[in-house]
Amino acid sequence: MPNSDENTKPIDVRKVLESKMGGKVRFVPKCVLNWLRKILHEDEINEYLESVKDIKGAKWLDATRKYLDMRITIEGGENFPPAENGPYTFVCNHPLGGPDGIGIGAVLAEHYGEKLKYLVNDFLLFLPGLKPLCIPINKTGGQSRNLPQLVKEGFESDNNIFMFPAGLCSRRHGGVIHDLAWKKTFIVRSVAAKRDIVPMHFSGRNSDRFYRIARLCEIFRSPVNFAMLFLADETYLNRHKDFVLKVGKPIPWQTFDKSKTAAEWAAYVESICYSL
């Protein structure tokens, strides 16, 4: 977790590795640490985080969207449901692995203010300005024993929930870039909390290098998601670009009845997202 000491860097590659590896981090060669610092843009990110250290939550999202120079065109904006009738569950494809979450979050914050929570990879907790909006999901190690309860409490709160049901960002198979299968959690929890679901689709893609690395990890069944290491670099490659966020009509929670399993309903909403 980020250290509150003002002299400590918000993003410290060594401390991130320590949080995952414990004492074994001492066996990581210095040259590898330096390479990681470069590919993770440690210096650039820390410089930016220092400039926004007093900004949190929705304002941080907006500031970061501007820093990334993300120009987002919204199609179907009239489908955003009234805040007073919420809260809602917002779900979307996950093409980029970082900037998409920032950009979509900034758009949602314009409509719903601070009443917003992300279900995010716990690596993002190293971004101090984003932390107040996060419900952490550990994708790199053992799940926290408290995770089911944290998720349950998030859906039962009066906050809107924003999540990428695929968990990991999109992969390329057969020349087609598409999400991994959407998990059923958003269906199960939205129905239990009587939340309508709003499907969205975000444009964009990562580099060919990213998809090649991700594919190699799949082929060799790597226990480490090496592709994830490149997501910071992919974020910088996606600066100064135009994106489109398409918003679908809200789906009433009553739709998700016993005629399909929760997993089948998740696939149904996924298909709506990709049809937008």
- The rounded distance, in Å, linking the Cα atoms of 171 and 217 is 11
User: By the 8 A CB rule, do 40 and 12 touch?
Assistant: no
- List pLDDT tens digits, range 26-42: 888 999 999 999 999 99
φ and ψ at 247, to 5 degrees? -110, 125
pLDDT value of position 197: 98
Whose tokens are 């007073």? That residue is 84
- List pLDDT tens digits, range 160-189: 999 999 999 999 999 999 999 999 999 999
| pTM score over 0.85 | yes
Q: With 50 as the cut, is the pLDDT of residue 139 above it? A: no
User: By the 8 A CB rule, do 237 and 207 touch?
Assistant: yes
- Parallel, antiparallel, or unpaired: how do β-strands 160-163 and 89-92 relate? parallel
Tally Cβ neighbours within 10 Å of residue 30. 7
pLDDT value of position 125: 65
- List pLDDT tens digits, range 50-96: 999 999 999 999 999 999 999 999 999 999 999 999 999 999 999 99
Can you point out the beta strands (E) in the chain?
A: 71-75, 89-92, 116-121, 134-137, 160-163, 171-173, 176-178, 197-202, 242-247
pLDDT value of position 144: 55
Q: For residue 148, is the peptide bond before it cis, meaning its omega torsion is within 30 degrees of 0?
A: no
pLDDT value of position 2: 42
The Cβ-side half-sphere exposure at 237, using a 13 Å CA radius, reads 16
Characterize 189-205 residue by residue with b for buried, 16 or more Cβ atoms within 10 angstroms of its Cβ, and e for exposed: bbbebebbbbbbbbbbe
Average pLDDT, rounded, for the chain: 90
- The rounded distance, in Å, linking the Cα atoms of 244 and 103 is 10
